[in-house]
Structure 1
Amino acid sequence: MVVYPELHLCGATGTPQQRREQLEAAAEPIDGPRHQHLSRIARNLGVWLLPGTVCERGEDGHLYNTAPVYSPEGERVVAYRKCFPWRPYEPYQPGDRFEVFEVPGIGRVGLAICYDIWFPEMVRQLAWLGAEVIINQVATTTCDRAQEQILVQANAIFNQVYMVSANSAAPAGEGQSLIVDPEGRIRARMSGATPGILTDVLNLEEVERVRTFGTAGLNRMWSQFRDDDPVLELPMYEGRIDPRKWRGKR
């Protein structure tokens, strides 16, 4: 699986107005010419390709920050629209759904784009949908990359999933990409903003081991509830935690 950072193919610089103009010029429908090229690349190389997010022109005319995923056969298996644009700095319309995809014979992968992981509901929902790995494509150009790396570890710990955070390197971003295991340990990382390639081999059976025996051999959050526990109301969401549904789609 080959993963590129957020807006790798159509980054924008300058003032907010200049950025908006550049993104408007780069925007295409999701099935436009760019899709054809990316599909061909994935098929020719025989790889799972996450080419970085693209600026999508939606059917409604709005701009979306969208992460397409291509299979080794060149099929676009999913296209996730960023749910939490970095406001007020980004001009995108928010997406309205979470996306996971299956790698046959391997496991399930969830998608999050940059600022998404600052909202704990995001990765929790992806984990509930069965994701064992969360790919977080990032274009952080600001000094908060330090805090963002902590959030990558925290999301891994909270949800007992692998987190892969691929950030743009210099001169476009702050770099410091990292891969974190389901107990929050950093497996691999790039130091500084120097461009480079980060590689790893993930054993997804580790996710089930951690969830079965607990983080640090102790904490089993996905086994917290019993079926006869009371429903926990969540007034903020006008929703609830139902103990009978807590373990999710695994």
Structure 2
Amino acid sequence: MAAQARPQLIGAPVAGFADEARRALERHPEARLVVFPELHLFGDGVPDLQREGALRGAAEPLDGPRVEALSALALELGVWLVPGSVCELGPHGELFNTQIVLSPEGRLAGSYRKIFPWRPHEPYEPGNRFVVVDLDGLGRVGLNICYDAWFPETTRQLAWMGAEVILNVVKTTTADRAQELVLARANAIVNQVFVVSVNCAGPTGMGRSIIVDPEGEALAEAPDAAPALLAADLDLAAVARVRTHGTAGVNRMWSQFRPGEPAIPLPVYQGRIDPATWQPATSPSESTGHVDVAPAPIRSTP
């Protein structure tokens, strides 16, 4: 379930968010994964660059009391919980925009620092690792934050690591949400994965959250910026089916190369596509974890 919601006020007790999550699950008790927008717990309507002091004041390390309280909430609800992203205080005082995944057992199952902050408007340091998390029966999800979707390297790398679903948490307050909907579909199509792009609701955000299947079809979509809950049953077998038979029964990008064909250099990444290893990971043990951002994007060797 994707919750297109208005941001909680920065510094507000986690109890308010807990009530919000409980109400969402009352409406969709069948949900096993609940995803909220980017920086959902850090809202006040002021652009991030203008409120860096407030963000730093609210930032905590991931072993701090905020994530501890959110972990307890995931345990109480018995669901996989992505409370958007949080302001993480790094070990040297850095400020990161970090997406977290909490398990139904109440543990921090994965975290991802946004690699592409929206420069020059955001005060965050960039992360340097891609992250895919195995959700124990719900598939493998790649973590992705807002502006990351504008860089095709990010979704391609996550798909190559074995992601079947891309969780793109968003806080788009500007007029480019229409283009982001195109990107959500395009990233799904060219990587043959599901994309869940959940934006914050108005008046802060532009809304229009969307869940897209591996062929680019919208399974659920919010028509406007009003608060909304999008629910969809993701048939993960569709990923293998589309990759086997082709998008629209035609295109099989992950089967593009034949054995023995030469590698294709990609100078912009100081890397290459090697036909010998140009294929996505297929097991949780292969796909879960992190890889360095450079020169990893689209590089064929781990």
TM-score (norm 1): 0.98
Question: Is the contact between residue 47 and residue 121 of structure 2 (CA under 8 Å) also seen in structure 1?
Answer: no
Aligned partner of 2:223 among 177, 182, 191: 191
Aligned to 1:67: 99
Counterpart amino acid of residue 97 in structure 1 = R
Moved more, 74-83 or 5-14: 5-14
Question: Is the contact between residue 12 and residue 19 of structure 1 (CA under 8 Å) also seen in structure 2?
Answer: no
Once the two structures are TM-superposed, the CA of residue 16 in structure 1 deviates from its matched residue by: 5.7
Alpha-carbon separation, structure 1, partners of 2:70 and 2:150:
29
Question: Is the contact between residue 12 and residue 22 of structure 1 (CA under 8 Å) also seen in structure 2?
Answer: no
Counterpart amino acid of residue 173 in structure 1 = G
Question: Is the contact between residue 183 and residue 215 of structure 1 (CA under 8 Å) also seen in structure 2?
Answer: yes
Query: Are 2:195 and 1:148 aligned?
Result: no
Q: How does 1:2-17 map to 2 (within 5 A)?
A: 2-14=34-46
Question: Is the contact between residue 27 and residue 57 of structure 1 (CA under 8 Å) also seen in structure 2?
Answer: yes
Alpha-carbon separation, structure 1, partners of 2:34 and 2:48:
31
Aligned to 1:241: 273
SS at match of 1:245: coil
Question: Is the contact between residue 115 and residue 129 of structure 2 (CA under 8 Å) also seen in structure 1?
Answer: yes
Once the two structures are TM-superposed, the CA of residue 105 in structure 1 deviates from its matched residue by: 2.6
Rate the CA distance shift 1:200–1:34 in 2: closer, same or farther, 3 A. same
- Of the two structures, which has the highest relative contact order with CA contacts closer than 8 Å and spacing of 6 or more? 2
Question: Is the contact between residue 257 and residue 275 of structure 2 (CA under 8 Å) also seen in structure 1?
Answer: yes
Question: Is the contact between residue 254 and residue 279 of structure 2 (CA under 8 Å) also seen in structure 1?
Answer: yes
Rate the CA distance shift 1:15–1:213 in 2: closer, same or farther, 3 A. closer
Question: Is the contact between residue 165 and residue 195 of structure 2 (CA under 8 Å) also seen in structure 1?
Answer: yes
Moved more, 25-34 or 115-124: 25-34
Alpha-carbon separation, structure 1, partners of 2:46 and 2:280:
43
Aligned to 2:291: none
Rate the CA distance shift 1:177–1:17 in 2: closer, same or farther, 3 A. closer
Counterpart amino acid of residue 228 in structure 1 = G
Query: Are 2:239 and 1:207 aligned?
Result: yes
Aligned to 2:165: 133
Aligned to 1:78: 110
Over 2 Å off, 4+ runs: 11-18
Alpha-carbon separation, structure 2, partners of 1:103 and 1:15:
33
Q: Per-residue displacement from partner, 1:129-170 (whole Å, max 9, x unpaired)?
A: 000000000000000000000000000000000000000001
Once the two structures are TM-superposed, the CA of residue 13 in structure 1 deviates from its matched residue by: 3.3
Aligned to 2:61: 29
Counterpart amino acid of residue 161 in structure 1 = V
Alpha-carbon separation, structure 2, partners of 1:17 and 1:141:
14
Gaps of 5+ in 2: 1-32, 283-302
TM-score (norm 2): 0.81
Q: Per-residue displacement from partner, 1:86-110 (whole Å, max 9, x unpaired)?
A: 0000000000000001011332110
Alpha-carbon separation, structure 1, partners of 2:120 and 2:84:
22
Aligned partner of 1:107 among 139, 152, 156: 139
Alpha-carbon separation, structure 2, partners of 1:36 and 1:165:
26
Once the two structures are TM-superposed, the CA of residue 12 in structure 1 deviates from its matched residue by: 4.5
Moved more, 6-15 or 84-93: 6-15
Question: Is the contact between residue 12 and residue 23 of structure 1 (CA under 8 Å) also seen in structure 2?
Answer: no
Counterpart amino acid of residue 40 in structure 1 = A
Rate the CA distance shift 1:174–1:15 in 2: closer, same or farther, 3 A. closer
Counterpart amino acid of residue 205 in structure 1 = A
Rate the CA distance shift 1:50–1:146 in 2: closer, same or farther, 3 A. same
SS at match of 1:101: strand
Counterpart amino acid of residue 168 in structure 1 = C
Aligned to 1:176: 208
Question: Is the contact between residue 81 and residue 96 of structure 1 (CA under 8 Å) also seen in structure 2?
Answer: yes
Counterpart amino acid of residue 215 in structure 2 = E
Once the two structures are TM-superposed, the CA of residue 15 in structure 1 deviates from its matched residue by: 5.6
Gaps of 5+ in 1: none
Q: Per-residue displacement from partner, 1:153-199 (whole Å, max 9, x unpaired)?
A: 00000000000000000122000000000000111100110011111
Aligned partner of 2:90 among 49, 58, 62: 58
Once the two structures are TM-superposed, the CA of residue 31 in structure 1 deviates from its matched residue by: 0.9
Q: CA RMSD in A?
A: 1.0
